[in-house]
Amino acid sequence: METKGNFPLKAFTSLETPFYYYDLDVLRQTLDTLKNEAQKNRVNVHYAIKANANPRIVSMIQMYGFGIDCVSGGEIRAALKAGVPADKIVFAGVGKSDWEINLALEAGIFCFNVESVPELEVIDALAAAKGVTAPVALRINPDVQADTHHYITTGLKENKFGINLCDVDAVIDLTLALPHVKLVGLHFHIGSQILEMNNFAGLCSRVNEIQAQLARRNLSVEHINLGGGLGVDYHHPDEAAIPDFAEYFSTIRRMLRLRPDQSLHVEPGRSVVAQCGSLISKVLYVKQGSVKQFAILDAGMTELIRPALYQAYHKIENISSDGEVEKYDVVGPICESSDCFGKEVPLGKTRRGDLVAIRTAGAYGETMSSNYNLRPTPKSYFSDDLA
C-alpha cells in the first residue's frame, strides 16, 4: 500500500512518530477559496496565528497577502519573520506586557485591539515616551451568545474579554482625550468553533446598535473587526475539507450596516488551518482490558491536548489496517487519565506498529503542544516534500 486516502503511507513508514502532517493542497485550496470570497465581499483577513504558527504554514498564508492577528510579542515576531507587513498586523489580548506593546509600537502595527481602560492608559504612556501615536480599536464585549464549548466562548458578560457595553461611551471619551492613541476601530470576537450562522448574525445586529449609538454622538470609526470563530466539520474532514467562507461572509454582509468608507476585518484561525493537518502516531500496544480494548499510541495530550482539555472530537483512522472494524479506546502514553483521544472508536483490526491519523488537527494542535513528561516537541512534515 503506497497511499491511504490522501496519506503517503510508504513515505510515512520511514519517519519517526509522532508527527504533524500537513496536506498543503488542502491548505492551498482553503486559501484560494478564502481569498476569492474575501475579495468578493470586500473583507480584510488577519489570520489568527495562534491556531498554527508553523513557519512554513504562516509563510504560505502570507503569500496570499493576508494580515495576521497576534496575541503576544512572540506571535508579532513570527508574523514579521514570515514577511507579513507590520501594517497588516493586529494585536489583541487582555494582558499585553509593556515589552510587547513597545515591540508593536516600534514595528508600526495596523492596530492594537484594546481590552480595558488601564491597558489604554499604558499604551498611551508608552506611545508618548516614543513620541508616536498608537492606532487602537476598542474590543467591545457584545454579550452575544455563541453556541460552542463554554471554554471557547468569549463574548458573554461573564467573560474576561473586552469592554462592557455599558462602559463604551465613557471609554470612547477617554480614548479621544488621550493624546497618544488614535481611535481607528471597533473590535469584537464571540468565540470559536461556531457553525451556527445566526450567532454571527446576532453579533452584526449588536454592532449595528453600537454604531447607531456612536452616530448619535456624531462619531464613527474607520474599521469594524468581527474577530474569528468560524467552525469546521470535525466529523467529515475529507467531505467538508473547505469551510463555507461564502456563507459566512454573505451572512455578515447581509446583516452588518457599515458606514461609508468603513472597512471590514475578520480574524479566522481554525477555519484556515484545521483541515490541512493530521497528527500521525504509531500504535505501541493493543491491550485487552476487562471490558474493553485499548489502542495505546505514541502520541498523547502533549502533542494534541484538545480532546483532554475540551472533550473535543477528532476523527481517528487506522491508516495501516484494512481489517474488520472493532471498537477501541484510543489513548496516549501520558500519566493522566484524561490522556484519551476517543472512546469506543471504530478502527480496522489494530496491531502494534500500525499508523493512526488523528484528523482535523491543523488548528490548535501543534501550537498547544507541550513538553510535559519531558517529551520532545513534535516534528512536522509537508505533503509537497513526501509526494
Q: Which residues bind to ligand LLP, rule: CB under 6 A?
A: 48, 51, 69, 92, 152, 189, 192-193, 227-230, 267-271, 306, 310, 364
| DSSP-assigned states of every residue in 305-322 | -HHHHH-----EEETT--
Least distance from ligand LLP to the Cβ atom of residue 269, Å: 3
| Residue 187 or 282 with smaller CB distance to ligand LLP | 187
| Residue 92 or 334 with smaller CB distance to ligand LLP | 92
| E strand or H helix at 30 | helix 24-40
Least distance from ligand LLP to the Cβ atom of residue 240, Å: 16
| E strand or H helix at 55 | helix 55-63
Least distance from ligand LLP to the Cβ atom of residue 365, Å: 8
Written as nine digits, the cell of 336 is: 493522566
Strand pairing partners for 46? Answer: 67
DSSP state of 86: G
Least distance from ligand LLP to the Cβ atom of residue 114, Å: 12
| Residue 12 or 91 with smaller CB distance to ligand LLP | 91
Least distance from ligand LLP to the Cβ atom of residue 272, Å: 8
> The cell 486559501 sits on which residue?
31
CA distance linking residue 350 with residue 331, whole number of Å? 13
| Residue 310 or 381 with smaller CB distance to ligand LLP | 310
CA distance linking residue 365 with residue 20, whole number of Å? 9
**How many Å separate Cα 95 from the centre of its chain?**
18
| Residue 8 or 268 with smaller CB distance to ligand LLP | 268
| Residue 295 or 363 with smaller CB distance to ligand LLP | 363
Virtual CA dihedral for 341, 58, 16, 319, nearest 10 degrees?
A: 50
Tell me which amino acid residue 35 is.
Answer: K
Pairing of strands 263-266, 181-187: unpaired
Least distance from ligand LLP to the Cβ atom of residue 338, Å: 15
